[in-house]
């Protein structure tokens, strides 16, 4: 059994690839952001701390569901911008179910990815559970909370570098330059994934 970890920065295209790869492999895919959207629609959040807890709940739900799939002898794809704190839970899955990890890490020019990230968050179709990074729905009787300062591509890079997202890998690593989507070939990436599994 395999645990395909599709990792990388936001707006790097990892979720699109994860869904495509899962379909081609015939494996289920679990995305933290998909789970987070369900939790947001059910529970919501009104401040950064509540959003952080919702994010952690989505992450732990993803690992729980992955364990249920692995327990039945089925490989699974996980889609997340994994951090260093992800390692203990992934190691638990590896040890408990005997699965082998393979990481596909989407990376590229940080400023380009950040610009794409900002553009995506301005899309009116973007789910509010992801967009509300700088402000939060007002609590009854209170005004909307505003962030202290706007994120820049430099602070974006510093944040994800400190979290370990830029260097995250478990098992064999396949690095994907997602600076220019038009240059990506999913079939070639999947061939590299399959080669790691032989």
DSSP 138: P
Higher pLDDT, 135 or 154: 154
119: pLDDT strictly greater than 50 = yes
**CA dihedral of 194, 181, 126, 174, whole degrees rounded to 10:** 30
Mean of pLDDT values over 68-73: 98
Closest among 62, 108, 107, 114 to 86, alpha carbons compared: 62
pTM, two decimal places = 0.87
Q: 40 is written with which tokens?
A: 């947001």
- From CA 100, how far away is CA 111, in angstroms rounded? 33
Place of tokens 């002898």: 73
Give the DSSP H/E element, type plus range, for residue 102.
Answer: strand 100-107
- From CA 92, how far away is CA 98, in angstroms rounded? 10
- From CA 85, how far away is CA 63, in angstroms rounded? 13
132: pLDDT strictly greater than 80 = no
Q: Provide the sign of the torsion angle of the four alpha carbons 65, 69, 71, 76, taken in this order.
A: negative
* pLDDT (tens digit per residue) in 176-195: 999 999 999 999 999 999 99
Mean pLDDT across the chain, nearest whole number?
Answer: 87
Closest among 198, 196, 189 to 24, alpha carbons compared: 189
Mean of pLDDT values over 64-93: 96
* pLDDT (tens digit per residue) in 18-64: 999 999 999 999 999 999 888 888 887 777 788 888 889 999 999 99
End-to-end CA distance of the chain, in Å? 12
Mean of pLDDT values over 171-178: 98
């Amino acid at each position: 059994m395999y645990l395909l970890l599709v990792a990388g920065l936001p707006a790097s295209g990892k979720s699109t690839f994860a869904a495509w790869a899962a379909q081609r492999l015939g494996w289920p895919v679990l995305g933290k952001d998909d789970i987070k959207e369900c939790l947001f629609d059910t529970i919501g959040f009104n401040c950064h701390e509540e959003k952080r807890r919702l994010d952690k709940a989505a992450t732990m739900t993803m690992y729980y569901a992955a364990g249920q799939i692995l327990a039945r002898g089925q490989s699974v794809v996980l889609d997340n911008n994994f951090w260093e704190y992800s390692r203990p839970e992934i190691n638990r899955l590896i040890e408990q179910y005997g699965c082998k990890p393979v990481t596909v890490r989407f990376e590229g020019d940080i400023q380009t990815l950040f610009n794409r990230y900002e553009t995506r968050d301005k899309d009116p179709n973007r789910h509010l559970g992801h967009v509300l990074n700088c402000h939060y729905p007002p609590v009854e009787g209170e005004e909307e909370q505003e962030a202290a300062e706007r994120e820049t591509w430099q602070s974006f890079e510093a944040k994800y570098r400190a979290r370990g997202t830029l260097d995250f890998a478990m098992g064999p690593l396949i690095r994907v330059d997602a600076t220019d989507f038009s240059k990506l070939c999913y079939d070639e990436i999947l061939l590299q994934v399959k080669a790691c599994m032989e």
